[in-house]
A = this chain, B = another copy of it.
Amino acid sequence: MSHHVRRRLLFSLASVLLALSLSCERAPEAPLGPGIAEPFPGARGGVERILAAARADDRAWARLAEMCDTFGPRPAGSTAYLAAARWAADTMRADGLDGVRLEPVEVEAWERGRESLVLLAPNGPRPLPVTTLGGSVGTPPGGIEADLVVVHDFDELERRAGEVRGKVVLFDHPMEDRDDMFRAYGDAVKYRWAGASRAARHGARAVLVRSLTTRSLRTLHTGQMGYDEDAPRIPAAAITVEDSAMLARLAARGVPLRVLLRLGPHRLGRRPCPNVVAELPGRELPDEVVVVGAHLDSWDLGNGAMDDGGGVILALETARLLRENGLVPRRTIRVVLFAGEEIGGLPGGHAYVEAHREELDRHVAALESDAGTFRPTGFSVRAGDEARERLARYVRLIADGDGLELREGGGGPDVSPLGREGVPVIGLRTDTTHYFDYHHSPADMPEAVPDEDLRESLAVFAAMAWLVAEAPDPLPRAPEKP
C-alpha cells in the first residue's frame, strides 16, 4: 500500500472515530486515530489550520529570495549584515510584531581579501580555484611558493612528518556520502578546523584542505578554522574536490608538485553585529516565552539562502502566519535572529542569554532551524524525559501519525546556550541529502531551497512552535543537575 493510500485510509478511519467521539465527553489526551493523540483540547484544530495555511503560503520563498537578492552575503560584522538586520526589523514591524529591536552584539570581524592558487608544476602556471578559510591569517604579499605534499589524514601527516617542513600540505580527505550527512561532516571537518596547526607543528608553511562536500561542480566550500595556542599560525584555504583529487592523483604518480598560494584576508577588529528580536505577545501568559530562532549571518561566498536564510524565514513566517490566521498562542512567541553563528563562539547566542538572564526561567522552549529547510524529517531535542515525551506526542500529531521523528540532539547552535541554561531546545530536522552540496559555498543561493520544501518546513516548524506556546502547561524543565 502506498504511503498516500495508507494516509487516506487512516484519515478516513480517524474521521469516523472523531465523529463518534464528538458525542462523548472527550478526555484531553484521548487517542483520535491509530496512535495519534490530541495532547490538549484544540491542539488538532490549531495544527491543521497551521499546516494548511503554511502549505498554501507563497510568501516564504518570495521573502527568502527578497532578502538574499537584496543584500547578498551577510557575513558577521559586515555592512550587508547590518542592512539585512534593518530589513528584518522592518519586516517584523510590517508583520505586526511588538517590541522590534536590535540587541547589541559585537563580533571579531574577518574579511576575505584577494586569493589565488597557481599550480606551477607540472606544466604550469595553472590557476586553481581557492577560498581562504574563515579566520585564517594571510600569506606574505608575494605569496608562498613551495612544493606540495599530499596527505589523506592526520595519521599520514604524522608518518610523513619529516617531509613537510617548508612545504604546503594538502589534506585530501574525502567527506563520506552517508545517510547522516551531519555525521559525515563531523568526521571530515577536523582537517578544516585543525589541519593548519597540526601541519604547522611539523614546519609546514600553509595548508590546503579538500572542500567538504560529496557533490561538486568544482565548487569551493569555505568555513571557520582555528589555531592552537602552541603552534605557528599558518594560512589555510580550501580547494575543490576535483582539484584535491587531481593533486592526489599526480602525487600518487610521483609527479613533483609546486604551488604559489596568495591569501590576503583582513582582520577587521570588533564590529557591531546585533541580534534582531521581536515578539508576538502571548494571549494569556505573555511573560512566558517560546523563542523561534535562526542565525542571520552567512558565509560570504553565497547569499546564505540555505544557511541559514531558510531558518530566518521560518522564524519570521511562523510569527506572521500565526498572527494572520488568528492563532496567537497562550505564550509569547519571540523571534530571535542570532548574530555571528558562522564565525564560531556563538556570540549571538551568548549575548541573548546574557541580555535575558532575568527571564530565562520563563523561557519555556527555544526552537531553531539551522539544518536546512529541505523536506522535514522531524526534530532534534535536548530536554528532560517528561518534556521529550510530550514533544514526541506533538510530533505524532503534526505528522498525522508517522513521517516525522523525534531524536535526541542539540536543537540548534544558536539556542544551545539557552539549552545549557536548562531551556528545552528543539531543532527542525530535514532531509540532509543535498545540504552539503550548497553549504558554505557560492551555490548557497535561493535556488538551493525548493519552494515546496520551505513551505513544508514552515508548516512543521510553525505547528511545533504553536503547540509549545499554546499548551495549557509549560513544557517541563529537566530536573536541575546536582
A243 to chain B: which residues have CB within 8 Å? 445
Taking a contact as CB atoms under 8 Å apart, the answer to whether B123 and A445 are in contact is no
Taking a contact as CB atoms under 8 Å apart, the answer to whether B123 and A250 are in contact is no
A83 to chain B: which residues have CB within 8 Å? 123
Known: A65-B249, A445-B242. A72 touches B123 (CB 8 A): yes
A216 to chain B: which residues have CB within 8 Å? 217, 443, 447
Taking a contact as CB atoms under 8 Å apart, the answer to whether B218 and A218 are in contact is no
Taking a contact as CB atoms under 8 Å apart, the answer to whether A441 and B70 are in contact is no
A246 to chain B: which residues have CB within 8 Å? 65, 68-69, 303, 445-446
Contact with B along A467-480 (1 / 0, CB 8 A): 00000000000000
Query: Complex Cα distance A355/B445, Å?
Result: 51
Query: Complex Cα distance A83/B73, Å?
Result: 41
Known: A69-B250, A447-B245. A442 touches B129 (CB 8 A): yes
Q: Which residue of B lies closest to A213 (CB)?
A: B217
Query: Complex Cα distance A299/B447, Å?
Result: 27
A249 to chain B: which residues have CB within 8 Å? 65, 69
Taking a contact as CB atoms under 8 Å apart, the answer to whether A443 and B71 are in contact is no
Taking a contact as CB atoms under 8 Å apart, the answer to whether A217 and B441 are in contact is yes
Taking a contact as CB atoms under 8 Å apart, the answer to whether A66 and B245 are in contact is no
Taking a contact as CB atoms under 8 Å apart, the answer to whether A442 and B218 are in contact is yes
Q: Which residue of B lies closest to A442 (CB)?
A: B218
Query: Complex Cα distance A71/B126, Å?
Result: 9
Q: Which residue of B lies closest to A255 (CB)?
A: B70
Known: A72-B123, A122-B70, A123-B80. A302 touches B443 (CB 8 A): no
Query: Complex Cα distance A68/B218, Å?
Result: 14
5 closest Cβ contacts across the A-B interface? A217-B443, A242-B445, A218-B442, A72-B126, A217-B217
Q: Which residues of A contact B (CB under 8 A)?
A: 65-66, 68-73, 80, 83, 119, 122-123, 126, 129, 215-219, 241-243, 245-246, 249-250, 253, 255, 302-303, 437-438, 441-443, 445-447
Q: List 24 A-B contacts (CB under 8 A).
A: A65-B249, A66-B253, A68-B246, A69-B246, A69-B253, A71-B123, A72-B119, A72-B123, A72-B126, A80-B123, A129-B442, A215-B217, A216-B443, A216-B447, A217-B441, A218-B219, A218-B442, A218-B443, A219-B219, A242-B443, A243-B445, A246-B303, A246-B445, A246-B446
